[in-house]
Homo-oligomer: A and B are copies of this chain.
């Protein structure tokens, strides 16, 4: 199977590594608007060849858009124009509703499968690509009924080859759940980094004290702003809603501390502790 990957960063590159290793892809064509990324992807042997977008899409049995969600909005209709009749196009964007809306009337809509593999690290670019990134993680497939059956099968087969478990949701639900769990985690981490850098002027102190739990809590704040800003924009309503809850709870917590309300404080922390039941 010929696989084309548009976007040779962390996600696209990591998919390339494993789709080749497991022999799902016989050939992988890479596309990237960044010439250095293209060169690096060849050097690292992530892809067999770099091709211009139209040509690479046309040649593909399966094309994957692994680019930021604003770029997916722009690229997807054009890519659908160039996909050949029996081929399939999918994406890996962290938002789904707006992307699906943008091609809802496209004559080849049914050759597109909207997907979101829930995996990543805080790093970006082709050098960040690693093997086994997707193993045992979940891949969400949205609005399944709008895609041809064989297109869904083809994409499921690819994700199963990466040892992912497919889950099905409609796009609206996906975006809500993504805001409630994943997007808020990134924002909480960005704000933590921003606060600590603002209050604590000594880099050495931050470094020395990071083992007190800061390092893992702040990890996501290293994520790419160019990738995340468009996600926050496309999912703004859900995110603003969850941020309002977050801020309200943070205000309450501050008041408990300020007013030495031990009971309120303990109750809120014990409630938060319930996350143990879910995340081991």
Contact = CB atoms under 8 A, between A and B. Distances in A.
Contact of A197 (B118, B211, B274): B274
Count the copies: 2
Given A181-B205, A214-B181, A254 B247 contact: yes
Nearest to A263: B229
In this complex, the interface size class of chain A, counting residues with CB under 8 Å from chain B, is: 35 or more
A212 B240 contact: no
A182 B213 contact: yes
Contacts of A249: 191, 194-195, 198
A273 B221 contact: yes
Contacts of A208: 118, 138, 167
B247 A206 contact: no
Interface in A168-217: 177-178, 180-182, 184-200, 202-203, 205-217
A1 interface: no
A159 to B, nearest CB: 14
Contacts of A203: 277-278
A197 to B, nearest CB: 6
6 contacts: A122-B213, A182-B212, A188-B192, A199-B245, A221-B275, A229-B262
Given A198-B249, A236-B257, 5 more contacts: A185-B218, A187-B250, A197-B275, A217-B217, A247-B247
Q: Which 10 A-B pairs have the closest CB atoms?
A: A182-B212, A225-B269, A193-B272, A181-B209, A193-B275, A180-B200, A185-B217, A185-B214, A190-B272, A243-B254
